[in-house]
Amino acid sequence: MSTQTPVPEPLPANIQQALRETITAQDAPPWLAGRISARIREDAARRPASGLRLPHWVLAGAATFALAVAVVAGARNWNAATTQIAGLLHTLGIGDHVYCAASGHYPQTPPAVETMNEKLGADFAALVPAVSGSLPGYTIRQGHICIYKGRPFIHVIAKKDEQLVSLIVTARQAGEDFPMNSVVARMRKDGIPIHASTDGLFQSAGFATPNHFAFVVSNLEERANLMLMASLAPRVYGIIRAVAR
């Protein structure tokens, strides 16, 4: 069976003429060319200057690959960062808390405020009222500088019944940092990234300034410990930064 389409019969000449004249009489409005030109130039200004044009499948493939690389690299960085942060929270924060507070190296009778101020020195004496202000009902049991593994720690200990809380400040040493802190931080308080970790028995939350670390370590619930660090962070940060100046 033939499927060839017959050639269409032409329009009568007068109809064809009338059709052309009618359609071609409809000129575009004078402003249209200007508006098109303006839109093209606006679009050109937004687009990159590069002449590189890649097919969509290449771009999609490249984007997928880049995303996969970023995910793998990000996961590795994330793991490395969280490992390093946890290490500092444990070795410095929990380490000094266990050595000095949890092991009972504080007097049974709270020392006088003046005594603690003297031990802490003028720069860090303000940490005591900071802690007592954030922990109503707690007693300040110690305010001093202790040495743990050869490293000095500013240490304020507060206690209420079986709950024991330490505020610990120590100077940062070379290579110590909370990396990618804006990404892996547990929370932010007034722009300060706060990190947290636990060893199952003690909770440690802390932040870094350019020269110091500050930790709150306790046997409170993990979230309560984190929130206590958050409530203290702005004031403690200000005290530490004032020392650095």
Place of tokens 């100077």: 171
In sequence order, what are the beta bridge partners of 212?
A: 171
What is residue 181's DSSP assignment? H
Note whether 29 binds another protein by CB under 8 A. yes
Q: Kindly write down the DSSP assignment for every residue of 153-195, as one continuous string.
A: EEEEEEEETTEEEEEEEEE--TT---TTHHHH-SEEETTEEEE
Shortest gap between Cβ of 1 and another protein (angstroms)? Answer: 14
Residue pair 138/158 in contact (Cβ under 8 Å)? The answer is yes
Q: How far is the CB of 173 from another protein (least distance, A)?
A: 52
Distance of closest approach, residue 149 Cβ to another protein, in angstroms: 59
Residue 4 binds to another protein (criterion: CB under 8 A): yes
Residue 65 touching another protein (CB under 8 A): no
Torsion from C-alpha of 159, 165, 169, 170, nearest 10 degrees: 110
Q: Is 25 in the site for another protein (CB under 8 A)?
A: yes
Rounded least distance, CB 39 to another protein, Å: 6
36: contact with another protein by CB under 8 A: yes
Residue pair 93/142 in contact (Cβ under 8 Å)? The answer is no
Choice between 45 and 122, CB closer to another protein: 45
97 and 202 Cβ atoms separated by less than 8 Å: yes
Q: Does 40 bind another protein (CB under 8 A)?
A: yes
In angstroms, the CA 200 to CA 197 distance is 9
What token pair was written down for 117? 């101020």
Q: Per CB under 8 A, does 22 bind another protein?
A: yes
Considering only residues 160 to 199 of the shown chain, the ones binding another protein according to CB under 8 A are none
- Are the C-beta atoms of 112 and 58 separated by less than 8 Å? no
Among 26, 108, 173, 182, binds another protein (CB under 8 A): 26
User: Smallest distance, Å, CB 66 to another protein?
Assistant: 17
Min. distance of Cβ 16 from another protein in angstroms?
6
Among 117, 181, 195, 208, residue whose Cα is nearest residue 154 = 117
Q: Does 12 bind another protein (CB under 8 A)?
A: yes
Quote the radius of gyration of the chain (alpha carbons, Å): 35
CA nearest to 141, candidates 169, 96, 102, 197: 102
Task: Please report, as residue ranges, which positions from 107 to 146 form the binding site for another protein (by CB under 8 A).
Answer: none
Q: Which stretch binds another protein (CB under 8 A): 22-30, 194-202, 212-220, 233-241?
A: 22-30
Q: Which positions touch another protein (CB under 8 A)?
A: 3-12, 14-16, 18-29, 32-33, 35-37, 39-41, 43-44, 50-55, 58
